[in-house]
Amino acid sequence: KGVGASAFGLPQISFIFILLTMLSLQSLPLMPLLIEERGFMKHETSERLYTEGAHILTTFFVTVPLSLTGAICQTLIIYAFSELAGQFLPTVLGWTLLLFFFFDAIFSSVAAAAADGQQAQTLATPFLVVFMLFNGSIITRATAPVYLRWVFQ
């Protein structure tokens, strides 16, 4: 029996929170792979096997659609198990994909600036902590300290 079978409340909010958290963390373990791929790309472009533009285009036309397809499939499967009403699917799918693209972009930017995978994980932690703590589910506007209430504005 899915969370959609009961009246709206904490189970549904928890389900959405877990779904969004899971999709936002999906790109985090890929940062060391991005850094390793960058090293290969630098070496191969220095040997004139291809240009940086060709690497960017293949990433944009191959990796991004595959990641997007994976995120959509993951969201649809999890949503089907939840048994929530179908009328909420476009909203949930839109928000999950928006959050997926947002965190994928942040983690890719951090990976581009970091020297290695460990440094990338360390640099990504503050971004992740702010969004995880101040999402309105863990710390709400009412429970936030006065000097941090600006986060909810």
Higher local confidence (pLDDT), 127 or 137: 127
Q: How confident is the model at residue 22 (pLDDT cuts 50, 70, 90)?
A: confident
pTM assigned to the model: 0.78
Q: What is the pLDDT of residues 66-123, one digit of tens each?
A: 999 999 999 999 888 888 888 889 999 999 999 889 988 998 899 989 988 889 989 9
The confidence score (pLDDT) of residue 76 equals 93
CB 3 within 8 A of CB 15: yes
Q: What is the pLDDT of residue 1?
A: 67
